[in-house]
């Protein structure tokens, strides 16, 4: 007697009674073939799973009733259904409405092509994946897990979305905010610890005058209440001997990456113009700093990303490319290209020419001046990581200024009620307050 095959697609980041129930139901119809969604398939539509594909596969393979586990490399079931042509596919009836309705229709059409049958079972009530995610976030993370996440994201996602955080409160917004877009849940993938916003919050100029210990004291407030990966703005990295110490300290604290720029001398913010930009470091000098930093790190997961200031300094794309390839050869795990040009044409040219010679090294951009381009457009240039580098701080100042001004003008706070978050809502935002 030929045993029939039942296909069941799942993420399996959290094993809960609903999953066990649907697997047990599937065994009534034949051998259960689990299509386990890969990191790439999941991350294109919602948050990267906490467990890697290999870890999730090891768990699912040992669940009673599972005959075989195969990778499902797309959010859609269709490629695997056409490949394996199961007799049945089983799914909860929750996809009859909402963002999965289109997928349901596609599955019915494909299964009918080869005589397969769709089995729908009642969705297990009282289970909510969003609530599971909140519970997992409340547990927190470890430096090791947080450290590894950025590399996983770059490998899994078409483009990684990073937003500046300058406080625990701004970190919590990045940690918890999501937006539904079709059948995709969009989130920020991680945080940018900016030298500019850190110094501005202290009311001090952004001149690389604050030591690492002070920066880390402030960064700890974000680390303690969030789980997402953090990229650290390392300015020039300082002297090579100091940069080695910085790498070890950041890695030990679970920071995923540091970005250092190829400048020398007292730092001035690049946005002030070429007259305020210091001389670029020699290619050999900056390569040496990168190489020494790579030697200092303990794990393979920490990333050193080289920021190239050629376009800011008025030099050519050719100069930027020469430096980029040299920095990668010296061990840089990624390159960040920066520009004040509003058209973004120089960034696009750099990315396309860099990709012609290097198809794998991550490219990072900060599209503050050329912000007319969407993430999807930037992705077509070969870009892997987009950093929104100062928007949270820039948004907070006008809001606070307006509230303070209105209180002065009216001699009371009644008029600012609609501009202020209720105290109860503020308290509910903070983990452990309720």
- 217 is written with which tokens? 């004291």
Pairing mode, strands 178-181 and 184-187 = antiparallel
Q: Name which of 173-187, 227-241, 335-349 the model is least confident about.
A: 173-187
Tokens 């005589």 -> residue? 115
Q: What is the pTM of this model?
A: 0.87
Domain with CATH 3.20.20.60 in the chain: 140-389
- 10 is written with which tokens? 């799942």
Nearest to 262 by CA among 333, 313, 195: 313
Residues 6+ apart with CB under 8 A from 275: none
275 pLDDT band, cuts 50/70/90, is very low
276 pLDDT band, cuts 50/70/90, is very low
Q: Is 233 a catalytic residue?
A: no
Nearest to 387 by CA among 367, 363, 361, 362: 367
Q: CB of 42 within 8 A of CB of 12?
A: no
With a pLDDT cut of 70, the percent of the chain lying above it is: 91
Q: Going along 38-152, which residue ranges are E strands?
A: 66-72, 88-92, 117-121
Domain with CATH 3.40.50.620 in the chain: 5-129
Residues belonging to the chain: 434
Please state which CATH class domain 140-389 belongs to.
alpha beta
How far is Cα 285 from Cα 40, in angstroms, rounded to an integer? 37
How far is Cα 383 from Cα 364, in angstroms, rounded to an integer? 6
More confident residue, 132 or 372: 372
- 394 is written with which tokens? 């820039």
Residues 6+ apart with CB under 8 A from 82: 110
Marked catalytic residue, from 13, 39, 198, 206: 206
- 266 is written with which tokens? 């007292």
**Which runs of consecutive H residues, i.e. helices, occur in 240-344?**
240-252, 283-296, 317-329
198 pLDDT band, cuts 50/70/90, is confident
CATH fold of 5-129, please? Rossmann fold (3.40.50)
Residue 100 has pLDDT above 90, yes or no: no
* Residues pairing with 230 in the sheet: 191
Q: What is the pLDDT of residue 277?
A: 46
pLDDT tens string 379-414: 999 999 999 999 999 999 999 999 999 999 999 999
């Amino acid at each position: 007697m030929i045993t029939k095959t039942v296909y069941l697609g799942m993420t399996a980041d959290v094993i809960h009674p609903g999953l066990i129930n649907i697997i047990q139901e599937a065994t009534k119809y034949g051998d259960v073939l689990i299509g386990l969604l890969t990191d790439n398939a999941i991350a294109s539509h919602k948050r990267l799973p906490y467990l890697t594909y290999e870890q999730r596969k090891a768990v699912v393979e040992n669940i009673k009733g599972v005959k075989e586990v195969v990778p499902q490399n797309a959010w859609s079931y269709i490629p695997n259904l056409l490949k394996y042509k199961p007799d049945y596919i089983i799914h909860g009836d929750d996809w009859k409405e909402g963002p999965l309705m289109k997928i349901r229709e596609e599955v019915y059409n494909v299964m009918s092509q080869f005589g397969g049958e769709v089995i729908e079972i009642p969705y297990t009530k009282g289970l909510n994946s969003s609530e599971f995610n909140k519970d997992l976030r409340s547990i927190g993370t470890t430096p090791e897990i947080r450290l590894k996440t950025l590399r996983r994201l770059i490998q899994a996602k078409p483009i990684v979305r990073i937003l500046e955080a300058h406080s625990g409160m701004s970190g919590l917004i990045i940690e918890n905010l999501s937006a539904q877009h079709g059948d995709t849940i969009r989130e920020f993938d991680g945080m940018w610890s900016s030298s500019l916003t850190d110094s501005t919050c202290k009311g001090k100029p952004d001149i690389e005058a604050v030591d690492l210990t002070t920066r880390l004291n402030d960064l700890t407030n974000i680390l303690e209440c969030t789980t997402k990966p953090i990229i650290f703005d390392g300015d020039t990295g300082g002297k090579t001997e100091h940069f080695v110490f910085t790498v070890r300290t950041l890695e030990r604290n679970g920071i995923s990456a540091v970005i250092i720029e190829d400048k020398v001398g007292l730092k001035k913010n690049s946005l002030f113009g070429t007259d305020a930009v210091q001389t670029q470091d020699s290619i050999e000098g900056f390569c040496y700093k990168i190489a020494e930093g790579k030697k200092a790190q303990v794990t393979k997961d920490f990333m050193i990303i080289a920021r190239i200031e050629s376009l800011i300094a008025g030099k050519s794309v050719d100069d930027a490319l020469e430096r980029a390839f040299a920095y990668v050869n010296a061990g840089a795990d990624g390159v960040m290209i920066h520009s004040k040009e509003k058209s973004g044409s120089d960034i696009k040219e750099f990315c396309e020419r860099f990709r012609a010679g290097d198809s794998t090294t991550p490219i990072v951009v900060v599209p503050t001046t050329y912000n007319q381009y969407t993430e999807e457009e930037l992705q077509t240039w070969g870009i892997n990581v987009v950093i929104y580098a100062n928007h949270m701080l820039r948004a907070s100042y006008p809001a606070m200024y307006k509230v303070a001004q209105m209180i002065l003008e009216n001699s009371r706070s009644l008029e600012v009620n609609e501009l202020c978050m209720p105290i109860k809502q503020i308290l509910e935002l903070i983990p452990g307050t309720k």
